[in-house]
Chains A and B, each alone.
Chain A
Amino acid sequence: MNPHWATSDRPLTRRDLLRRSGAGFGALALAGLLGAESRAAGPLAPRRSHFPARAKRVLFLFMHGGPSQVDTFDYKPRLERDDGKPLPFPKPRVVSSETGNLLRSPFTFKQYGKSGAWVSELFPHLSTCVDDLCFLHSMHGSNSRHGGALLELHTGSDTFVRPAMGSWIAYGLGSENENLPGFITICPTLTHGGVNNWSSAFLPAAYQGTPIGTASVPAEQARIPFIENTETPRPLQKAELELLREMNQEHLTKAGPDQALEGRIASFELAFRMQRTAPELQDLSGETRQTLALYGLDDPRTKNFGRQCLMARRFAERGVRFVQVTHSYKWDQHGNLKKDHASNAFEVDRPIAGLLKDLKRRGLLSDTLVLWGGEFGRTPVAQGRDGRDHNPHGYTMWLAGGGVKAGHHHGRTDDYGYYAVEDKVHVHDLHATILHLLGLDHTKLTYRHAGRDFRLTDVHGNVVKEILA
């Protein structure tokens, strides 16, 4: 029996009834009367965190492909100076591709904000937000290939199929809005682990990520599965649900008390509401022109990612626990670094800055944790003349909002930005920290499967206390 999840296929036990009624025997009759309330015991019912949470939800802006730290947020003057020289220390034993000598960044860096963060010219809009960001310059992971690295970042394991971070969080905390799924991933990529990056693996399927579209679908056309039905007019569907409820009630009366049956009756009403809520959420016509412009929806180059970011805010605003936005497989510059990193950054820079400013002005940033980054970074040494190889040994991600220090820099890579050397943060540590900010102890959020308790962080992970606000 798992303490975190009340199975819904099991008939209501006397113990459950007492626990649910909260007030014990005296409230029994009331709990019986409020049969429909059983929904509150469903898998997505909100649950208390282990300790007070600093963030209520997570927005993960995933830069698929591996953005280069030394061309974005990790400024290395020595790399500029020693351009073309050999790396003065050994390269990693396992590499993805063959690389040559040091390659200076083709982009110029400047300091921004009160915190004086170095940001390259790739992010002119985001550079105005640096005082809200908490940079992790010493990220490192275990896998130098996209597939393994994506899975490690999303699930904590680059070898086995494990529940996604969003699934763990939905399992741990439930959903704040029962009209919407607890874990949504907007336009996710189907490659490099694909569905395993948002699957619930051995956790109950209710915690799987709900994909809205895929990377190959423009954000404008992305929809929640089965949410629309052009064939059945609304009044007709309403009449159907009325009859359905009557038939189900009759069946329930004959069947005796049954939590699963009651839950299913409630689920149709929820679905009917969800059908109204979700398309409304994706309909941006209520947003002001100024907001649309803030996210870059007025520019064909930024509008696709901008729409994803704006949808993410709308979902977050309505209590979805974990929303992921994917800038799909674009950041893998083994070649064409200068041109392609510039166009990638262009596509996301204004939308992300817009998202941060919008969250802030709505008062959402204080309890929303924003996470930005790729599955790894890139090498300071050149692949060809204008490219960089994968580098899981030291790269930058940043956090913002919910419970992290603002305008803060944590950790350091070596003088060239190859290896994380100071205050290293492994992907497991990042996971532990995210859970911590949500009020969950990563060593206690467990699920019993195949004879043992599993965790998002397996047997690893240390909370990065230094970045907690």
Chain B
Amino acid sequence: MHRLILLSSTYQQSASGASHDPGHWYRGHDWPRSPGLLVDPDNRLHWRWQRRRLDAEEVRDALLDVSGQLDLAMGGSLMQGSNRGYVPGYPNSSYDHYDSRRRSVYLPVIRSDLYRVFQAFDFADPSTPSGERPTTTVAPQALFMMNSKLVLEQTRHLAADLLGRSDQDDTGRVRLAYERAYGRPPTDAETGRALAFVRRIEGLLQREKVAPAERRLRAWQSLCRVILAANEFIHVD
């Protein structure tokens, strides 16, 4: 039964509305469109995969995974405090031990002080039953991608990892980054653009008087940050 479902062409569809058939290049459009896009743009008939954004847990796990930091250990508990130790009493206190590389499913859910990363991405309120999580797109999520400690740390790991691959040249490193983040190799244009971007950032950092080795690492970190902030990373296409 599962085999039947998983191997079906319906299940294997992508979310793209583009067509590979040049015959679908309609007048006035700049790219060939699947007829479905014209007949059923709302995708009521499931002619294409319904794109979805990653859930809060998936966002965190994906960030840790692409940077090679995700700890896949199974079982056990991350709760090390004493009984009632997680409930802020008086005076006001907060829980800040979310710093773990374990999968999100093992992170404590502290009702009184929920992990901010989860909160930012529509994690359901753990104090009330909820049948469905809405998916909102709000600026704090973008702020998270730009400024959070988690993203800053993981992109640095990813950059260090890429630069540590002495068997690869820079073109190969861009390919690795794309494959890890998007599951596909970059086009030549994308590779060229990424490398130009790294050079540009190195120039900017030179002006900020950053040491050469650190400059290179931070320029690649910048590229990684963009790759992971992009829509292609956070959506299942």
On A, residues with C-beta under 8 Å from B are 7-9, 11-14, 42-44, 160-161, 178, 181, 189-191, 194-196, 199-202, 204-206, 208, 210, 214-216, 224-229, 231-233, 235-237, 239-241, 243-244, 246-248, 251-258, 260-261, 263-265, 267-268, 270-272, 274-275, 328-329, 450
Q: Contact: B18 with A256, CB < 8 Å?
A: yes
**Which of A7, A224, A244 counts the most chain B CB atoms within 10 A?**
A244
Within 8 Å by CB of B208, from A14, A225, A233, lies A233
**Which of B51, B123, B223, B234 counts the most chain A CB atoms within 10 A?**
B51
> How far apart are the CA atoms of A202 and B128 in the complex, in Å?
8
Q: Contact: B125 with A194, CB < 8 Å?
A: no
Q: Shortest Cβ distance from B11 into chain A, in angstroms?
A: 19
Q: Contact: B41 with A205, CB < 8 Å?
A: no
Residue of chain A at shortest CB distance from B232: A251
Annotate B119-141 by CB proximity to A: 1 below 8 A, 0 otherwise: 11111010111110011111111
> How far apart are the CA atoms of A375 and B149 in the complex, in Å?
36
Given A235-B204, A236-B204, A248-B231, are A14 and B42 also a contact pair (CB < 8 Å)? yes
* Residues of A contacting B226 in the complex (Cβ-Cβ under 8 angstroms): 240, 243-244, 247
* Residues of B contacting A194 in the complex (Cβ-Cβ under 8 angstroms): 88, 112-113
Write 11 A-B pairs (CB below 8 A) sorted by A numbering: A43-B138, A191-B89, A204-B134, A204-B136, A214-B92, A216-B92, A224-B143, A226-B143, A228-B147, A236-B201, A272-B142
> How far apart are the CA atoms of A81 and B13 in the complex, in Å?
83
* Residue B93 lies at the interface, judged by CB distance under 8 Å to chain A: yes
> How far apart are the CA atoms of A191 and B93 in the complex, in Å?
9
B192-237 contacts to A (CB < 8 Å):
193, 197, 200-201, 204-205, 208, 222-223, 225-227, 229-232, 234-235, 237
Annotate B32-48 by CB proximity to A: 1 below 8 A, 0 otherwise: 01000100011100000
Residue of chain A at shortest CB distance from B37: A256
> How far apart are the CA atoms of A264 and B51 in the complex, in Å?
14
- A160-B128, A216-B94, A239-B222 given. 7 additional CB < 8 A pairs? A190-B113, A194-B112, A201-B125, A214-B92, A268-B145, A329-B92, A450-B131
**Which of B92, B227, B235 counts the most chain A CB atoms within 10 A?**
B92
On B, residues with C-beta under 8 Å from A are 15-18, 30-31, 33, 37, 41-43, 51-53, 88-94, 111-114, 116, 119-123, 125, 127-131, 134-148, 152, 193, 197, 200-201, 204-205, 208, 222-223, 225-227, 229-232, 234-235, 237
* Residues of B contacting A251 in the complex (Cβ-Cβ under 8 angstroms): 230-232
Q: Contact: A252 with B122, CB < 8 Å?
A: no
